[in-house]
A and B are shown apart, each in its own frame.
Chain A
Amino acid sequence: MKTIIFLTIVLVSGALAGTLHGVANLAIVEPYLDQAIGIENQNLFASGEEEDTPQFWVEYDAYRDWQKGGQVLAGAILGTSIGALFGIVYAFSRHVLPQGNDLKKTITLAGIMWLTLFFIPFLKYPANPPTVGDAETVVLRAVLYLSFIAISGLGAVAFYQLSKKIKSKSKIISVVGYGIFIAIVFALMPPNPDEVNAPLDLVNGFRAMSVVAVSVFWVSVAVILGGLWHKFRPDSQIHSQNDM
């Protein structure tokens, strides 16, 4: 495999898709964040911790503008890192993904990773807007969330390996096995300990847009990596065969 080309296309596709994720957040998630932080501000005024002065709003607006810019940068960083994981898994699984071009393969893999690493963990531990989380429980929540993602991802790999071992032609066994396994884990894992006190409209709207924006990332990373892989062929074995 051509190492430099492989690394370059993996990192570029992750960074680009992550930037798109950040831009999508700006458009559809930030309005909910502003609303939630607005509630926090009202609480600060009510408790007397802050005063509702023009000066406060000047500083607040400047701070939020900086933070929104940071959010896009964070998208590029997160995208590069999730893209790196996607590249690793793709390199190892490319030969067993459905026959067809690289785009079909990357989209299939992204769908599986979106489901097992994002969407199912999201159903158990959904994203929350500011004001919901209790600072006291943040470490516990981080441990629960990461554990669930790790169990789900490793479970998916394990059931795939299992179905390969018993030489099952169909992938149904691994899908059903994983489904039962993750349903049990889902039921056994403790729930998020925090109570949701924020308005339900705000929380639900935020969650829906958060899912849309994360999905934008997964679609983008699949399309970009699939396209770049097809064009640059870091796997030279395929290169020599197909270019004849």
Chain B
Amino acid sequence: MSQSKGITITESKIPIFAIALLAVIFVLGVFVVGFDQGHIFSIVLGEQAYEDLYIHELTHDMRHAAGFPCH
């Protein structure tokens, strides 16, 4: 009945929301650094983004250094 708390509630549950958010960050970040070939900027820039390869060029050296397949 009583909702009063005299002791610290033990909340060892792992928050699903936080895990889901981290999972999204994980996938997006790996995609941007490792695999984007204009996909993300094409949302705003259209076909031009596949020519510019801005993100590819920007993250290029890390792509090689971290072991992702490149040129």
Give chain A's interface residues, CB within 8 Å of chain B. 1-3, 6-7, 10-11, 21-22, 25, 29-30, 33, 66-68, 70-71, 73-75, 77-78, 80-82, 84-85, 87-88, 91-92, 118, 121-122, 125-131, 133-135, 138, 141-142, 145, 206, 210, 213-214, 235-237, 239-240
The minimal Cβ–Cβ distance linking B69 to chain A, given in whole angstroms, is: 4
Given the interface pairs A1-B13, A74-B33, A240-B8, the reply to whether A210 lies near B66 with Cβ below 8 Å is yes
**How many angstroms from the CA of A126 to the CA of B27 in the assembled complex?**
22
**New A-B contacts (14) at CB < 8 Å, excluding given A74-B61, A92-B14:** A1-B14, A2-B11, A3-B17, A29-B64, A67-B58, A71-B60, A81-B27, A82-B29, A84-B26, A91-B19, A131-B71, A145-B69, A210-B66, A213-B65
B3 sits at the interface (CB 8 A): no
Contact across chains for B65 and A11 when beta carbons are under 8 A apart: no
| B6 interface residue per 8 A CB criterion | no
Q: Is B64 a contact of A130 with CB atoms below 8 Å? A: yes
Q: Is the interface of A mostly helix, strand, loop or mixed?
A: helix
- Which of B34, B58, B61 is close to A25, meaning CB atoms less than 8 Å apart? B61
Instruction: Give the residues in chain B near A134, CB-CB below 8 Å.
Output: 71
Partner of A84, one of B22, B60, B64: B22
Give the contacts of B43-71 with A (CB-CB under 8 A): 57-71
| CB pairs A–B below 8 angstroms (9 shown) | A1-B13, A1-B18, A6-B18, A10-B22, A70-B58, A70-B59, A74-B33, A77-B33, A142-B34
Q: What chain A residues lie within 8 Å of B13 (beta carbons)?
A: 1
Q: Which of B14, B17, B22, B62 contacts A74 (CB 8 A)?
A: B62
A88 to B58, CA, bound (A): 28
Q: How far is the CB of A208 from chain B (nearest CB, A)?
A: 12
**Closest beta carbon of chain B to A14's beta carbon, Å:** 9
Alpha-carbon distance between A135 and B59 when the two chains are bound, in angstroms: 17
Cβ-closest chain B residue relative to A118: B67
Q: Please determine whether B71 and A91 come into contact, CB atoms closer than 8 angstroms.
A: no
CA distance A224 to B23 in the complex (A): 20
- In the complex, chain B residues whose CB is within 8 Å of the CB of A25: 61-62, 65
Contact residues, B12-38 vs A (CB, 8 A): 12-15, 17-19, 21-23, 25-30, 32-35
Ordered nearest first, which 10 A-B pairs have the shortest CB separation?
A81-B29, A70-B58, A141-B69, A74-B62, A240-B8, A74-B59, A71-B61, A127-B67, A84-B22, A237-B10
Q: Check B30–A78 contact: CB distance below 8 A.
A: yes
Residues of A within 8 A of B25 (CB): 11, 80-81, 84
